[in-house]
Amino acid sequence: MPVACLSIPHFSIRVALAAAAEAKAKAAAASATTTNDSGHASPDHFHYDGRTPIILRDPERTDTVVIDANAEAARHGIRPGQHLREATALSPLAVIVARDPVAETQRADSILKHLLAISPLVEADEHDPGCWYIDLIGLERYYGSLEGAARAIHRCVPAGVNPRIAIAPTRFAARVVAGRAETPETRILDEAQAQAFLATASVTWLPLDPGLIRQFQKLGLSTLGTLAQFDDRKLFARFGKPGRTAWELANGIDRRPVMATRLPLTITEAASFTNPTSSLPVVMAWLHHLVTRAFRRPDLRDRFVGKVILHAMLERGGSWTRTLVLKTPSGAEQLMQSLRLRLQSLEVSAPIERIAIILTDIMPEAARQQVLPALRQRTDGHLQGVVTQLAQRYGISPLYRIVEVEPWSRIPERRHALLVFDP
Amino acid sequence: MVAHSGTPARPAGLRSLNQPRPIAIVERNGRPVSIAIGQRTQPIVQVQDTWIIVDEWWRTPIDRQYFQVLLENGHLMTIFLDRIAQTWWAQEY
């Protein structure tokens, strides 16, 4: 049962650095020197593989903690979960980069899409960004050998990123081998080699509750080899099912199959702002426009959506994302109500340059209470007719409505704007 | 998966209101003295107020000196000097 594990260590840091570099290249004309908000050196001056300690923070979290730290930062004693102040005290020259969730999703989706061309069974590790499992059962002959399959996997990764690829009999063994590789490499292990490799690995690799792993360590079971030699019945008696699972994984028994990633139908609409804005009314007006447009597409005709993902690309790099799972599948109007409710206290760290709305979990509408024709509002229908006629005559609807953009702005032309009227 | 529709969401559809309009000004020592409105020139009787706005240095720098002026015909008007391009504009404030 060959399973491949593709691992890109510190994926979020790499993506954040690449996105920052891209943003810098885009804003090359801007003369302003970029410095990050902590006063530390700017991230885009550094390459990931340099010798600079790099710390990842989440710009959306109020508690400023380290999300991830590269190997150099770890050498200075910086660990995920530490307070940023503590981390910068440990390494004053550390570069702090803000996580870019939108770029992460886009790059991960792109890699997943390429991997799905190699094998129908590809699973992204939901707890470990930058890690994918690829089931290679029955594909050895197609690729000629496992080495051929590994080369095909390597081609799925963008140039410049040096991944760790491991092929082993089980997904756990493949994960440990890929995860322990200190340099970019491809390793293919048979059952005996994988077992020997696992024996020396730490129990911290077990995908189990950290509390249970701490208990193992307190009991002197610090490596998978020592755990494998332990009596499984005693582990089961003491720790229950997780104890049995730990013993099995340590012995190279992994019953977890690679689960096929479902690619649901999604509909994406996006808009770019000429003048970046942080005004909620403008963002809501554009969301309304995008939602209306999405629901006019044939794929959404007489259908409802269950989940909405919002992506906002911020000025000078960085991004913001929100996922809204709707209580009930919703049409355009209900969806806008939910968005208004959820985004009423929207606060973003920088003006928004581009906004995208991704509608997914699309399903047929179950039932809809129709309003009697006599009670239906006539205005909307009438206006809709007028707008359609004008749009047909002039190519674009010449009707606009005034929206507040930045009513507090000292620059008069930034205060109000005309938005396409689309009832 | 349905891809992005590809249709631009008409970013140009978001039109700024109250855009400044270029005007012809006769100035003396950096102060406006008359304004050309159509074929006629209106002398400025009094500069009632003046203020400076410097903003958005990180994007496209804005550096304006606004003047609220009283024209000879009794109209109040707000004009500004773009101190970067050295051009005069009229804009309601």
Q: What is the pLDDT of residues A83-141, one digit of tens each?
A: 888 888 888 888 888 888 888 888 888 899 899 888 888 998 888 888 999 998 888 78
Residue pair A313/A326 in contact by the 8 Å Cβ criterion: no
Report pLDDT digits (tens) over B30-64. Answer: 889 999 887 888 999 999 899 999 988 877 899 99
One-letter amino acid at A308 equals V
Say which residue, A52 or A35, is predicted with more confidence. Answer: A52
DSSP-derived letter for residue A317 is: S
pLDDT digits (tens, 9 = 90+) for A286-312: 888 899 888 888 888 888 888 899 988
Q: Which helix (H) or strand (E) holds A5?
A: strand A3-7
Q: Which two tokens stand for residue A278?
A: 């942080």
B57 interaction partners in chain A (CB closer than 8 Å): 32
> What confidence tier does A375 reach under pLDDT thresholds 50, 70, 90?
low
A54 Cβ contact partners less than 8 Å away, ≥ 6 residues apart: A10, A13, A17, A43, A46, A48, A69, A70, A72, A73, A94, A95, A96, A97
Would you list which residues of chain B are within 8 Å, Cβ to Cβ, of chain A?
1-5, 7-20, 53, 55-59, 62, 91-93
Question: What residues in B contact A412, CB-CB < 8 Å?
Answer: 18, 20, 91-93
Confidence category of residue B13, pLDDT binned at 50, 70, 90: low
> Would you call A290 an interface residue with chain B, using a CB distance cutoff of 8 Å?
yes
Q: Produce one character per residue of A158-195: b if its CB has 16 or more CB atoms within 10 Å, e if not.
A: eeebebbbbbbbbbbbbbbbbbbbeebebbbbeeeebb
**Considering the entire predicted model, what is its pTM?**
0.63
Give A31's pLDDT tier (boundaries 50, 70, 90): very low
Higher pLDDT, B87 or A181: B87
* Proportion of chain B above pLDDT 90, given as a percent: 49
Closest-CA distance of chain A to residue B26, Å: 24
- Whether A65 has a pLDDT exceeding 50, the answer reads yes
For residue A274, what is the nearest residue in chain B, using CA coordinates?
B11
The amino acid occupying position A355 is I
Q: Is the pLDDT reported for residue A48 higher than 60?
A: no
Band the pLDDT of A249: cuts 50, 70, 90.
very high
Q: Which residues contact A342 (CB under 8 A, 6 or more apart)?
A: A322, A324
Interface contact flag, B2 A265, Cβ < 8 Å: yes
Contact flag B18-A289 (C-beta cutoff 8 Å): no
Cα angle, residue A154 at apex, residues A148 and A159 outer, rounded to 5°: 145
Name the β-bridge partners of A330: A305
Residue B46, min C-alpha distance to chain A (Å):
23
What is the least distance, in Å, from the CA of B63 to any CA of chain A?
A: 10
Report the range of poorest mean pLDDT among A215-229, B5-19, B31-45.
B5-19
| Phi then psi dihedrals of residue A394, to 5 deg | -105, 0
Whether residue A137 contacts residue A171, with contact meaning beta carbons closer than 8 Å, is answered with no
Looking at the complex, report in whole angstroms how far the Cα of residue A354 sits from the nearest Cα belonging to chain B: 10
User: B5, B14, B59: best mutation site toward chain A, by most A Cβ within 10 Å?
Assistant: B14
How many degrees, rounded to 5, is the angle at CA A329 between CA A325 and CA A330? 100
Q: Do the beta carbons of residue A244 and residue A232 sit within 8 Å?
A: yes
Please name the residues between 293 and 312 in chain A that touch chain B, using a CB distance below 8 Å.
Answer: 293, 297, 299
Spatial separation of the C-alpha atoms in residues A349 and A339, rounded to whole Å: 19
Nearest chain A Cα to B6, which residue? Answer: A269
User: Under an 8 A CB cutoff, do B57 and A32 touch?
Assistant: yes
Query: What integer best gives the mean pLDDT of chain A?
Result: 82
Q: What is the pLDDT of residues A259-272, one digit of tens each?
A: 887 777 888 888 88
Are the C-beta atoms of A396 and B11 separated by less than 8 Å?
Answer: no
Give chain B positions within 8 Å (CB) of A417: 14-17
Which candidate in A113, A275, A287 is best for mutational testing of the B interface (most B CBs within 10 A)? A275
Give the residue on A whose Cα is nearest the Cα of B79. A412
> What's the rounded Cα separation, in Å, for the pair A103 and A21?
12
Looking at the DSSP bridge assignments, the partners of residue B88 are B81
A122: buried, middle or exposed (CB in 10 Å: 19+, 13-18, 0-12)? Answer: buried
pLDDT of residue A39: 40
Identity of residue A144: G
- Between A349 and A95, name the one with better pLDDT: A95
Residues from chain A contacting residue B22 (CB–CB below 8 Å): none
Alpha carbons A240 and A104: distance in angstroms, whole number: 37
Asked if the Cβ–Cβ distance from A418 to B10 is below 8 Å, we say no
With CA atoms as reference, the chain B residue closest to A405 would be B16
Q: Can you name the residues that pair with A165 across neighbouring β-strands? A: A6, A186
Per-residue confidence (pLDDT) for residue A10, from 0 to 100? 86
Q: Of the candidates A357, A264, A367, A363, which has an alpha carbon nearest to the alpha carbon of residue A304?
A: A363
Contact status, residue B70 vs residue B44, Cβ threshold 8 Å: yes
Band of pLDDT at residue B25, cut at 50, 70 and 90? very high
B9 contact residues in A (CB cutoff 8 A): 269-272, 286, 289-290, 293
Q: Which domains does chain A have, with CATH numbers?
A: 3-188 (3.40.1170.60), 200-250 (1.10.150.20), 267-364 (3.30.1490.100), 378-420 (no CATH)
Among A6, A373, A322, which Cα is nearest to A162's? A6
Q: Select the residue of B11, B18, B59 nearest A273 (Cβ to Cβ).
A: B11
